[in-house]
Amino acid sequence: MGIISIQSQVVAGYVGNSAAAFALQRLGVEVFAIPTVLLSHHPGHGGAAGDRFPPNILARILDGLQVRGCFSRCDAIVSGYLGSAENALIVREALVRIHAARPDAIYLCDPVLGDDGRTYVNDSVVAAMQGLVRLADIATPNAHELSLLAGGGFANRGQALQAMRVVQAYGPRIVFLTSFCGDDTLKNTIDALIVDGDLAWRITLPKFDRKFSGAGDLLASMFLHFWLPGHDTSFAFGAACSAVHEVLLETVAQNSDELSLIAAQNRMAAPACNFTAEMIV
């Protein structure tokens, strides 16, 4: 199995490609990681240094991958943080090239736009991401990103599902709301919701009293990994949540301000706690 991953990358820490690539490789996936930005570490820690990659450099990387025959080895492409609206063109070009070699290749768009009610990209990136979502087979927004894509907020599970159906109507068959706390969410838990065609499932997860940078990037890549072999959405939903939960548990145990991905790699590969998706009717 091979996956092209186009998203942010850091030298120290585990967000974007730096989380997704190792986790996928640990599970036996060949990963072609293309950085939209390269930073010393996550900006949330302060003092991050680095820069965005301009589209012409990324286009040359695609050229080299094509010469090397990499596109024919890819089952899917995942995109995350773009860095600039122009980099959406690189994702589109990568889709054209991979579909020329593998017409059945899947595209997962992780629409990294913001979190906790805050949008941390400009309007041109939001518009570019909306365009990419329309091309995607799978979209994996968090609650804030879903509200941006659907054109409005939501206060409970039913309204969240309606917003997911709005985004689904744009193009993606599967919309995965990676985390949501609404009026009907149980205390000390968060909901994860997913729709695939007319079907919908929910998993209730323990809520940690902290934020985990990179957890959404990791969850999107884990879902894609578990979904690709059999296209079993319910199974992949539960397996991805279980794998990421193990990483979060280890991160809390280590009291780390970065995902403890290396220490948790065996737990991630063989979770002790396995969450099962509950169908919503």
pLDDT 10s digits, 11-30: 999 999 999 999 999 999 99
Q: How far apart are CA 180 and CA 160, in angstroms?
A: 8
pLDDT at 187: 86
Measure the CA angle with vertex 37, ends 102 and 168; round to 5°.
Answer: 50
Q: Among residues 188, 190, 194, 183, which one has the least CA distance to residue 205?
A: 190
Q: How far apart are CA 242 and CA 272, in angstroms?
A: 8
pLDDT in tens, 67-77: 999 999 999 99
For the chain, list the domains and their CATH numbers.
2-279 (3.40.1190.20)
**Structural Rg of the chain based on CA atoms:** 17
Q: How far apart are CA 266 and CA 141, in angstroms?
A: 27
DSSP the chain: -EEEEEEEEESSS-STHHHHHHHHHHTT-EEEEEEEEEESS-GGGS---EEEPPHHHHHHHHHHHHHTT-GGG-SEEEE---SSTTHHHHHHHHHHHHHHH-TT-EEEE----EETTEE-S-HHHHHHHHHHHHH-SEE---HHHHHHHHTS---SHHHHHHHHHHHHHHS-SEEEEEEE--TTSPTTEEEEEEEETTEEEEEEEEPPSS--TTHHHHHHHHHHHHHTTT--HHHHHHHHHHHHHHHHHHHHHHT-SS--TTTTHHHHHS-SS---PEEP-
Torsion of CA 87, 110, 133, 158, to 10 degrees: -150
Percent of the chain residues past pLDDT 70, beyond the cut:
100
pLDDT at 256: 96
pLDDT in tens, 154-196: 999 999 999 999 999 999 999 999 999 988 888 899 999 999 9
Residue 281 in this model has a pLDDT that exceeds 80: no
